[in-house]
Structure 1
Amino acid sequence: MRVQATAFQTGAVRRVALGLTLAATAALTACGGGDDGTYVPPPQSCSVADQNTWLRSYMNDWYYWYALSPDPSPVGYSTVDSYFKAKLYQGGNSVFPADRWSYSIPTADYERFFGAGQTMGYGVMVAGREVTGQPNSPLYVRYVEPGSPAAAAGLVRGDVVLAVNGVPSSTVISTDNYAALSATAAGQTLNLMVGKSGSVEARLVTLTSAVYSLVPVPTSTTVLSAGGRKMGYVMVKDMISQAINPLDAAFAQFKRDGVSEVMIDLRYNGGGLVDTASKIASYPASHRTSGAAFASLLYNDKHSSSNQTFTFGNPINALAMSRVYVLTGSRTCSASEQLINALSPFVSVVTIGNTTCGKPVGFLPQADGCGTTYSVVNFESVNARNEGRYFNGFAATCPVAEDFTKPLGSVSEPLLVAAANHADGLGCPAVTNDRVQPQSASSKLLKSWQGEPGDRFGGMVAR
């Protein structure tokens, strides 16, 4: 559900905003504050005590929920992480749910992702959420990063993981423990026993974690619907600046092919740069959106002069659509949901798949000078109609379950088929028991907006 945002008053409800330019982030890192805020000096040293003291000052100034969150003394906490968690807003306000989004990561990882367009890991992602509480269900590989160790080893979407480092997949599912899929450093080893659906054959795949370049637009194609309608399909995996050139090439091809509909696949997109999201959203319907407000980022009452508005552009290869299909799921989050919300005042947005994650708030990432970057909730995002606060996510127009044995972009893949049939005027497919229920309603499924380990962080960072 979307509601209109109102000003956030100290002790009640406050306004927030979604991101910041990397240049502004660098400035904040250097000076410890914003253009209208209190100066927050960096830690005097990298001792736990000094880092805790700094974190308290920073969060009491820039945290969106500073007036609603606990404010324990930094004394007595043996780790910075334990103090950070103690400072997070725990809920209780009727407007805002508890903060399940704020997090910290090594600064090197943050800069690698948003700067160089690279990440470190194995590159294999599984469909763990879909089998929560079902230990006897197959654990499918849902996505493999092109260029990753997993891709080099021949893993593909639809492979079935039978064991992870010798632990049966049934145990992995029942314990909800996918931590082994995330590497903490290059050179670590992951052993996967994998097979194919319906086959008794299995093979052992050994992966070594490494740094690799992201492929933010892994596939695009033009397909024909059953009714003969030309439709452009493009998957955007990461909201980073490196996505724009391949996206432009995809829409140039759509224009040459004369497509009448466009499908943007964001089912695995956990967010990223607000500027990138605004550029992506400008391609399907610039005749309606050019120059209009894409999103306004609203900070807390201490930093309201930092509020900023991003606008739609008018790229040369833009199309003139009155309807846009967006393929979604519980991992569609943050800047990806922002794209849906931003387009809604101007075109008909038809969502196909599952309910999105429900994250209308974002970060102003802040490095502490000790090797850690904190992404605490700093703002909320609203569209041109001042609509936001969709904490329950966007329900799918057409609820459709994934078939992980079908390649993404295939004419037989269920979400793509449902979008094509809808475009042909056939409406949504009938909902049956095999289709996933809305997942944003489950706190267990959304215990971390970042997804199963193996997924990367995302969020909303404006550039």
Structure 2
Amino acid sequence: MKKYVFLFLGLSLLISSCNNDDNQITNGETPGVTPGSDVVVQHFMWQAMNLWYFWQGEVGVLSDTRFSSDEEYTEFLEQNPNPSDFYNDVLLFNEDRFSFLNDDYTELVNNLSGVSRSNGLEFNLVQFAEGDGIFGYVIYIVPDSDASTKDIQRGDIFTRVDGQELNLSNYIDLLFGSNTTYTLGMADIVDNEIVDNDTEVTLTKIENQVEDPILVAETLDVNGTKVAYLMYNRFLSSFNEELNAAFGEFVADGATELVLDMRYNPGGSVNTSRLLASMVYGTNTSDLYIRQRWNAKIQEQLSDEQLEDYFASSTGSTAINSLNLSRVFVIATNDSASASELVMNGLAPYVDVIHIGETTRGKNEFSITLVDDPGNAFVYSSDRENNINSDNSWGLQPLVGRNENADGFFDYTNGLAPNITLLEDIANLGVLGDVNEPLLARALQEITGVTSKVSFSAQMPAKSFASSRFFTPAKDNMYLDKPLHIDFTQSND
């Protein structure tokens, strides 16, 4: 037997694994594949999930003692020749809503960094009251994208793609398929009805489109109160310095209140969520932000110190700019997930979080990226590209743990409910960052105590069933992204 000591994501793990040359299976050892079998991908998936998956102990086929011989194990792998079906239908826990995979791990990794193939149009989809027809409405346009050069904007409505009426059966292929270019057929709202018009907008997806997650960052002067407003659309570690700079501007402007708008934020980096929370609450490095929970195989080997993350005083290169607030107004909806919810939950023991909007998505698990690199415990590292099996390009993004806050709370699978319920109005989405935009106006009313002149009754409540934000390889993923260091030691049992 070989024993490996991993320094993974800042955690020191002692993991036992069997020698690939072992021919017999005993309790706790990793089964091997019968020579000549074409199950490279399935073998990788089983090994990676057996080690890391949060529900490993509850999925029978992932048990350490499930197979009594290499032949039995190989036969099991061969029963599922389609890797996607094997992963989704065989290996996942039945209550797992969020683990996913990609047949090209490079695409997965790029998307987690905010790089994707996109035309820059972000939208939600709504089903008509009758039939299977649907329509889309634009929620925002990514700056410096193809859509930003076209005559289309927040609030616009479309019902057709390339001349075809959108419905539940065709919208994925038409909007999220392999097509590089498509043409939208636009529509108007007339007497609370969606009515087609003759306008068409052609959009082209651009390779390696980068989205700055900070869409709006400005300080508003509302009846003499300086209110910082941040429209933040994804937790991307590559923009940590820009995020900190935005808070530096808020501090310089003398902001004493903050409206943190994460209504469309599907999540991202756990560490970035910690930095953002520190920019809100303070650089109190003795205060616990979150505590990790792993599967039993991993959890038992970790100390409290290794499992705990505290508020930060630095991004890693610059000092945190913090507003040091005792309360924060958060705009969040059902499109708000994972790291967005983590910020809200992590701040709750220390800060009065006033949630305006809808119940959030309810994604309280984190994930890591796994590739066919057994020498690195299958954890993806950009420094080990040459060690990844060249015959296996699949990448996995399984849920591997949950985060609880300083009070021990983590059970928000059904989402975080708002203090003030307010749906967006498709007929009046408003301009993001404008004091008359309904959700921001409602927050400002709470801050100032002055009744807003804006109507909060929605003419056409935005009850969408899908969002373009969730149709990327990154989806609503919350991932750990601390530095990975590995030290292999070997001993014989």
Q: What corresponds to 1:386 in structure 2?
A: 408
The alignment status of 1:100 with 2:97, answered yes or no, reads yes
Q: 1:295 aligns with which of 290, 293, 297?
A: 290
Q: Deviations over 1:345-396 (max 9, x none)?
A: 0010011111111011111210134212101111111111111021011011
Report the Cα offset of residue 456 of structure 1: 4.3
Q: What corresponds to 1:272 in structure 2?
A: 268
Q: Describe the SS at the equivalent of 2:442.
A: helix
Q: Which stretch has the larger CA shift, 209-218 or 420-429?
A: 420-429
Higher relative contact order (CA 8 A, sep 6+): 1
Q: Which stretch has the larger CA shift, 301-310 or 428-437?
A: 428-437
Q: Cα distance 1:320–1:361, how it changes in 2: closer, same or farther (>3 A)?
A: same
Q: Distance in 2 between matches of 1:360 and 1:427?
A: 35
Q: 1:191 aligns with which of 176, 183, 186?
A: 183
The alignment status of 1:312 with 2:311, answered yes or no, reads yes
Q: What corresponds to 1:110 in structure 2?
A: 108
Report the Cα offset of residue 298 of structure 1: 1.5
Q: 1:351 aligns with which of 355, 368, 371?
A: 355
Q: Describe the SS at the equivalent of 1:271.
A: coil
Q: What corresponds to 2:71 in structure 1?
A: none
Q: Deviations over 1:68-117 (max 9, x none)?
A: 225283221120011101234444xxxxxx101000122111222345x4
Q: 1:37 aligns with which of 7, 15, 18?
A: 15
Q: 2:477 aligns with which of 455, 459, 462?
A: 459
Q: What is the one-letter code of the residue matched to 1:80?
A: P
Report the Cα offset of residue 450 of structure 1: 8.5
Aligned pairs for 1:45-444 within 5 A: 49-71=39-61, 73-91=76-94, 98-105=95-102, 106-115=104-113, 117-128=114-125, 139-169=136-166, 171=167, 174-175=168-169, 177-184=171-178, 188-195=180-187, 197=189, 200-225=197-222, 227-286=223-282, 289-304=284-299, 305-306=301-302, 308-314=307-313, 315-368=319-372, 369=389, 370-404=392-426, 405-425=429-449
So what's the TM-score if we normalise by structure 1?
Answer: 0.79
Q: What is the one-letter code of the residue matched to 2:107?
A: D
Q: What is the one-letter code of the residue matched to 1:149?
A: D
Q: Cα distance 1:427–1:55, how it changes in 2: closer, same or farther (>3 A)?
A: farther
Q: Describe the SS at the equivalent of 1:223.
A: strand
Q: Distance in 1 between matches of 2:157 and 2:36?
A: 44
| Structure with max Cα Rg | 2
Q: Cα distance 1:176–1:395, how it changes in 2: closer, same or farther (>3 A)?
A: farther
Q: Distance in 2 between matches of 1:407 and 1:149?
A: 20
Q: Describe the SS at the equivalent of 2:263.
A: coil
Q: What is the one-letter code of the residue matched to 1:260?
A: T
Contact 1:399 1:436 in 2 (8 A): no
Q: What is the one-letter code of the residue matched to 1:347?
A: V
Q: Describe the SS at the equivalent of 1:298.
A: strand
Q: Cα distance 1:316–1:302, how it changes in 2: closer, same or farther (>3 A)?
A: closer
Q: What is the one-letter code of the residue matched to 1:35?
A: L
Contact 1:355 1:438 in 2 (8 A): no
Report the Cα offset of residue 402 of structure 1: 1.5
Q: Distance in 2 between matches of 1:211 and 1:350?
A: 36
Unpaired segments ≥5 residues, structure 2? 1-5, 21-29, 63-75, 314-318, 373-388, 483-493
Q: Cα distance 1:437–1:318, how it changes in 2: closer, same or farther (>3 A)?
A: same
Q: Distance in 2 between matches of 1:282 and 1:432?
A: 35
CA RMSD of aligned residues (A): 3.5
Report the Cα offset of residue 196 of structure 1: 5.4
Q: What corresponds to 2:316 in structure 1?
A: none
Report the Cα offset of residue 175 of structure 1: 4.1
Q: Describe the SS at the equivalent of 2:157.
A: strand
Aligned residues with identical type, % of pairs: 23
Q: Distance in 2 between matches of 1:422 and 1:176?
A: 43
Q: What corresponds to 1:13 in structure 2?
A: none
Q: Deviations over 1:246-274 (max 9, x none)?
A: 22222222222222210111111111111
Q: Deviations over 1:131-190 (max 9, x none)?
A: 687867752111222222222334321121131232224x3xx44833432254xx7222
Q: Distance in 1 between matches of 2:142 and 2:328?
A: 26
Report the Cα offset of residue 433 of structure 1: 7.0
Q: Deviations over 1:380-420 (max 9, x none)?
A: 11111111021011011111111354222121211111111
Q: Distance in 2 between matches of 1:427 and 1:297?
A: 42
Report the Cα offset of residue 461 of structure 1: 1.7
Report the Cα offset of residue 452 of structure 1: 4.7
Q: Distance in 2 between matches of 1:409 and 1:121?
A: 24
Unpaired segments ≥5 residues, structure 1? 1-20, 29-33, 92-97, 440-444
Contact 1:400 1:436 in 2 (8 A): no
Q: Deviations over 1:42-74 (max 9, x none)?
A: 998998622112212222222111122252832
Q: What corresponds to 1:3 in structure 2?
A: none
Q: What is the one-letter code of the residue matched to 1:213?
A: V
Q: Distance in 1 between matches of 2:443 and 2:245?
A: 22
Q: Describe the SS at the equivalent of 1:58.
A: helix
Aligned pairs for 1:7-18 within 5 A: none
Q: What is the one-letter code of the residue matched to 1:108?
A: T
Contact 2:341 2:364 in 1 (8 A): yes
Q: Distance in 2 between matches of 1:218 and 1:191?
A: 25
Q: Deviations over 1:178-237 (max 9, x none)?
A: 3432254xx722221235555945123242442212211121112234x44321101111
Q: Cα distance 1:251–1:138, how it changes in 2: closer, same or farther (>3 A)?
A: same
Q: What is the one-letter code of the residue matched to 1:293?
A: L
Q: Describe the SS at the equivalent of 2:443.
A: helix
Q: Deviations over 1:307-327 (max 9, x none)?
A: 532221234421121101111
Q: What is the one-letter code of the residue matched to 1:408?
A: L
Q: What is the one-letter code of the residue matched to 1:75?
A: E
Q: Cα distance 1:327–1:49, how it changes in 2: closer, same or farther (>3 A)?
A: same
So what's the TM-score if we normalise by structure 2?
Answer: 0.75
Q: Distance in 1 between matches of 2:468 and 2:200?
A: 29
